[in-house]
Structure 1
């Protein structure tokens, strides 16, 4: 059993590898491979991964670190894809260019997400082709590369038969916070959800079969934020505490509860004051409160800068320290539900467990009043043949209207990428709810074209 991590130089790689390793018996894993085009960055991550596997856990899992596609994918059963095309330098542009024009600056939402999507579609297709060529015939690609909605639509159009499952950990992070707020155990929680990626709603959250959404509404109303008090004390830091070091004053932290994320969790209260029926995905704040998010954003220091100055810096400083001294600080790398969830998904596919997960999949009538070919996010039972999506009734007009606007913006940007169409790209930017006018859409798009030279296809 070979598992390859594409984007092996990611700061999330050590935590994901640890999640895989702790499930060695269930996955029956013999070898983990790291594959990246950034050789030096991946080499450093590989040093830490080697320590995790062989020093920390004392396992006999083979580790291969490579920049060669054939070496990376030959006979692999699973490929975990976490590519960031353009790195943090381009993420910074995705966030800062829209803000200069008074639009939301966010890496997966609005103009930034559209730009990131255009950079990622063709590299993802190339990855699929490489895996198809070298991996086992019954391979699975588990893709959590952002922006997942646009990437999944691009894959649907260009590689409809690929064995790929597109996933996102944000709903899991929300459930983690909900469980902390209500002091309930996540393992006893089941939920219903519908939407697009980074654009959806929880319609039910059940703990041991009992509906807890009413209790959650009261909590959010009373606290005027979704975050528990213990999490709020750690908002200034981006680093996670190790579980064994967590205390009431310094809890183990969810990476989505740091720094500028405060306004996102605060927005859960503001949205539910107006629309209390469902619990929104936190990313809906960027679409429903775009004006307010621009007002409290700093165009000179965005989330990309926060992450570079904290999680990125701390991890690589920690690796440098280990290489010099042989001393390791586990708090420098993130390990948590993100990696656990991905590894558990692989277990469900391998062992045909029919465990329930939230996945991004082609609608095919699962939401009756959404297009058949829409890439929607819904619960599904996962077994050896992939997702068995759980269908639902028609969704309300408000949510359906928002989803159709976002869906069509995403479909247009995929068409613009494939066709090299400036007009379709402009339509995608104009249609997006984070953009106030056609004129502003054109200004942002033209700046994005300059910033993305060498990444985007030429638009005519």
Structure 2
């Protein structure tokens, strides 16, 4: 089986490779194609994978490095799309252009998600067109943020051949299960919303919903990162456990204050952490993987650091530092389809009546059954009014962003930003866009 990773010079690619090395089942990936526009990064990641394969006894998929998109996609059975248009410098610009105007500066939530989407959607659509032409039977698993927005845009071309994934819900489920003292495998999690905007409403084990008991137990809640982030009282008031990214919504003024007090953004921190790794190049045999692992642990430890510092949530749990989020979800999804290993996963898929009040084509994040026939969303209860209000508003923002990206309209891009509740001002929206257009050629190529 042939797997192509777009964004193959990306920092998290070795996590996927690590999971592939551990897979000894029938129908496993035999050829791994890494595609990236940056040949230097490709070589560095290629050396990291060589080291990992060597420590695994030399067994594993054949690795191919490729800078030509059509060549990389030819013959692919599955495609993982994990691109970052504009690189980390683009992320820093997303964060800073918002923070400098007093609003949230975050990668996918708030103005950052709109700006990231504006320059990413046109590239994602070009990828989708190329997949349809070169590898029409391939399934595309989209990692690229903003995941829901990008997946919905690509689905216009690829239909059910594209699906989006995120590791946030999986991480939450594991933490909640640990607090309840149950295995995640024996629980049914009722979760619904959009990417980075969802809520866990029930945790059913042997027919009993255990979530009300957890929400009534502050000590148990404080054993979860969500309990420490949001506070047990607020979770009990909500009657649900929100996705961690909802901290930026429920504590928006705290979030902006924490980011401004930090003196640096998450993107700036990652850029600084990874500069040395990339600058050193591939390194000597045996050294590349060790250097990557050290940089990865630094990256994982600083995930949502400003929110944990602002709330006193403390350091991340070791289980969360071990990695294995996106990569495990993606490979589990791939195996379910390729080997007919039926499973249930949280995926970003077209709504088709799953969440009441949203149209058929709206991509939502919900539990799905997956097997060789593809994926089928589970029925979920309606969202409560406050959650539905956020979801419907953000779906409108996502679609306005896609419209702006595909039309190249500055006015429509301004509208997308101004309609976002975490921006909330036409003046601020224009200021963010003008700052971005000055700094980023990737956005100048989109808007006119």
TM-score w.r.t. structure 2 length?
Answer: 0.86
Deviations 1:319-366 (A, max 9, x none): 755448688468434642331121111000112233111111111211
Gaps of 5+ in 2: 297-321
Q: Which residue is 1:279 aligned to?
A: 241
Q: Which residue is 1:191 aligned to?
A: 189
SS at match of 1:85: coil
SS at match of 2:344: strand
Q: Which residue is 1:290 aligned to?
A: 252
Per-residue deviation, 1:209: 5.0
CA distance in 1, matches of 2:249, 2:445: 27
Change (3 A) 1:330 1:93: closer
Per-residue deviation, 1:181: 3.6
Per-residue deviation, 1:121: 0.7
Deviations 1:215-249 (A, max 9, x none): 43245x33775646xxxxxxxxxxxxxxxxxxxxx
Task: Say whether the 8 Å CA contact 1:118–1:456 is kept in structure 2.
Answer: no
Change (3 A) 1:160 1:78: closer
Please tell me whether residue 301 in structure 1 is matched to residue 300 in structure 2.
no
Please tell me whether residue 350 in structure 1 is matched to residue 327 in structure 2.
no
CA distance in 2, matches of 1:149, 1:281: 14
SS at match of 2:367: strand
Change (3 A) 1:325 1:47: closer
Per-residue deviation, 1:124: 1.1
Please tell me whether residue 164 in structure 1 is matched to residue 162 in structure 2.
yes
Change (3 A) 1:270 1:296: farther
Q: Which residue is 1:239 aligned to?
A: none
Deviates more, 1:144-153 or 1:300-309: 300-309
Please tell me whether residue 48 in structure 1 is matched to residue 10 in structure 2.
no
Task: Say whether the 8 Å CA contact 1:205–1:211 is kept in structure 2.
Answer: yes
CA distance in 1, matches of 2:70, 2:397: 36
Q: Which residue is 2:152 aligned to?
A: 153
SS at match of 2:231: helix
SS at match of 1:347: helix
Task: Say whether the 8 Å CA contact 2:21–2:56 is kept in structure 1.
Answer: no
Q: Which residue is 2:354 aligned to?
A: 366
Deviations 1:144-164 (A, max 9, x none): 11111221232234x153611
Gaps of 5+ in 1: 229-263
Change (3 A) 1:128 1:224: same
Q: Which residue is 1:390 aligned to?
A: 378
Q: Which residue is 1:138 aligned to?
A: 137
Task: Say whether the 8 Å CA contact 1:110–1:435 is kept in structure 2.
Answer: yes
Q: Report the RMSD for the aligned CA atoms in angstroms.
A: 2.6
Per-residue deviation, 1:314: 7.3
Change (3 A) 1:353 1:326: closer
Per-residue deviation, 1:195: 0.3
Q: Which residue is 1:238 aligned to?
A: none
TM-score w.r.t. structure 1 length?
Answer: 0.84
CA distance in 2, matches of 1:191, 1:132: 34
CA distance in 2, matches of 1:155, 1:372: 15
Q: Which residue is 1:249 aligned to?
A: none
Task: Say whether the 8 Å CA contact 1:149–1:196 is kept in structure 2.
Answer: yes
Task: Say whether the 8 Å CA contact 2:165–2:329 is kept in structure 1.
Answer: no
**Counterparts of 1:220-299 in structure 2 under 5 Å?**
221-222=218-219, 225=222, 227=224, 266-269=228-231, 272-273=234-235, 275-298=237-260
Q: Which residue is 1:259 aligned to?
A: none
Task: Say whether the 8 Å CA contact 1:128–1:162 is kept in structure 2.
Answer: no
CA distance in 2, matches of 1:62, 1:391: 40
Task: Say whether the 8 Å CA contact 1:194–1:201 is kept in structure 2.
Answer: yes
